[in-house]
Amino acid sequence: MEQIVVDQNLIMLDGKPLALVTKSGIAEWETEGIAYTCRYDEITDDGDNKGKYRCLYEKVGSHEIFLLVVPPSDPDGFSVVLFDHPPHTLH
């Protein structure tokens, strides 16, 4: 089994690990009628990803926060989905 290595700062929020969700997981929530919110969080820790944004989801009524990721089965392997700009700020 191949070891997955990811920058710890990307998968933590306020010192706590985030739950992970993929785009197909979000699609499942929608199919099941699960309401959720989405927000973009700027990476402020020094490193290669500083200034990029990660996508955080929260199911309505839950306090668990999910981080959008690409699954290990993807041809490029596991990764955190990062954006140069939050999508709502693009023109």
pLDDT recorded at residue 3: 45
Range of the domain at 60: 1-9+40-91
**26 within some domain:** no
Are 83 and 68 in contact by the 8 Å Cβ rule? The answer is no
**21 within some domain:** no
If one counts the domains in the chain, the total is 1
**18 within some domain:** no
**16 within some domain:** no
Of 71, 77, 80, which is closest to residue 45 (Cα–Cα)?
A: 80
**44 within some domain:** yes
- Calculate mean pLDDT across residues 59-75: 91
DSSP state at residue 78: S
As a whole number of Å, the end-to-end CA separation of the chain is 43
**55 within some domain:** yes
Q: What is the pLDDT of residues 9-41, one digit of tens each?
A: 678 888 888 999 999 999 999 999 999 999 999
**29 within some domain:** no
Of 39, 54, 62, which is closest to residue 9 (Cα–Cα)?
A: 54
